[in-house]
Amino acid sequence: MLNAQQLQQFEQEGWLYFPEAFTAEEVAVLRNEAEGIYAVDRPEVWREKSGAPRTAFAAHLYNEAFGILGRHPRLIRPVEQIFGEQLYMHQYKINAKAAFTGDVWQWHQDYGTWLRDDGMPEPRAMNIAVFMDEVMPINGPLMLIPRSQHQGNLAAAHDTSTTSYPLWTINDDVVTKLVQEGGIVSPTGKAGGVLMFHGNLVHGSAPNITPYPRKIVYLTLNAVSNHIRKPTRAEWIAHTDFTPIVPCDDGALLDYARRYKQAAE
C-alpha cells in the first residue's frame, strides 16, 4: 500500500520510484526471457532503423514469466489504490534501448497517444516501469518533467519519421517552459527498480551510445471504467480485452524463476 507521503508526492510531482521492488533473482529470469523474445522476428517486435530491437509488445500474452509480471501485486495494487478500481492491461511493452544503438524517445505525454489514437476518455491509465537492467545517468534513462501532468493534455505533433515508432511529441518551446518551472529528474538505479508516472507527465529519453543495455518493461494499466472507445491501433498495441486483472501471489515470479533454474540444470 502507498502511504500518505507517497500519495502526496504522486499527486504533486506526478511520479514515484520504488528502488529494488524486485530482487536480482526475479529480474534475472525476465531479462533472459527478454533476450529470447528480441531474437525472434514477429510483428510484435519492433526494431530501430539499425535493426536493433526497440520494443516488444504484448509479451504478457505469450510468455509465462512476463504474464506473471503483468499480474504482479507489487505493480497492480498501488495503481488500483490510486484509481480506486480494478485495472486491465491497455499496453505492455519491453523497451530495449540497446547498447550503442538504442534510439531517442522524444518529449511526449503518454495520454496524448491514448487519447488521440485509442479514444481513451480520461488520463486514468498509468505507466509502471520495471527496470530489467541497471538504469544509469549515461545509458538513456527516462527523463521526467515533474509537475507537468498538471498542464492536462498538451498540443502535440505526430512524428512518424524520426524513429521507427510513431509518437505524438511536444514542441521545444513548451518543453523549455515546463522545464523552467519543474526541472528534469531521471530516476536511476539497479535492475528491479519500479517507476510509475502519471499519464500526462511529460517525459522522453536520449539515445544510448554506451555498452550498457537499458531494458525496461512498461505495463500500461487502465481503470476498467476508462476502457478505450475508439481503437485504431493493432490489438496487440492497444488491447481491447477489458477483463479486470486478478493479481497473482507475491511469490509467483520467484517460484517461476526457481522452476526455470531447475529445468536448466
Judged by CB, which is closer to ligand SIN: 69, or 142? 142
Q: DSSP per residue over 94-148, as a string?
A: EE---TTTBPPEEEE-HHHHHHHHH--SSS-EEEEEEESS-B-TTS--EEE-TTG
CB atoms within 10 A of CB 47: 18
22 phi and psi, to 5 degrees? -120, 145
Q: Can you tell me which of 30, 142, 170, 228 binds ligand SIN, judged by CB under 6 A?
A: 142
Residue 105 binding ligand SIN, by CB under 6 A: yes
Q: Annotate each residue in 109-148 with x if it binds Mn ion (CB under 5 A) or - if it does not, as one string.
A: -x--------------------------------------
Q: What span, in angstroms and rounded, lies between the C-alpha atoms of 12 and 2?
A: 15
CB 90 → ligand SIN: shortest distance, Å? 12
Q: DSSP per residue over 187-207, as a string?
A: --BSTT-EEEEETT--EEE--
Q: Can you tell me which of 124, 203, 215, 227 binds ligand SIN, judged by CB under 6 A?
A: 203
Find the part of the chain contacting Mn ion (CB under 5 A) among 5-13, 74-82, 102-110, 252-260.
102-110
Residue 95 binding ligand SIN, by CB under 6 A: yes
Task: Give the residue nearest to ligand SIN (CB).
Answer: 205
CB 203 → ligand SIN: shortest distance, Å? 6
Q: How far is residue 6 from each of residues 12, 15, 18, 79, measured CA to CA in Å? A: 10, 9, 10, 12
What nine digits make up the cell of 247?
493479481
Find the part of the chain contacting Mn ion (CB under 5 A) among 69-77, 93-101, 107-115, 242-250.
107-115
CB 50 → ligand SIN: shortest distance, Å? 16
Residue 205 binding ligand SIN, by CB under 6 A: yes
Nearest to 201 by CA among 230, 170, 227: 170
Q: What span, in angstroms and rounded, lies between the C-alpha atoms of 197 and 186?
A: 12
Q: Which residues bind Mn ion (CB under 5 A)?
A: 110
Tell me which residues touch ligand SIN (CB under 6 A).
95, 97, 105, 142, 203, 205, 216
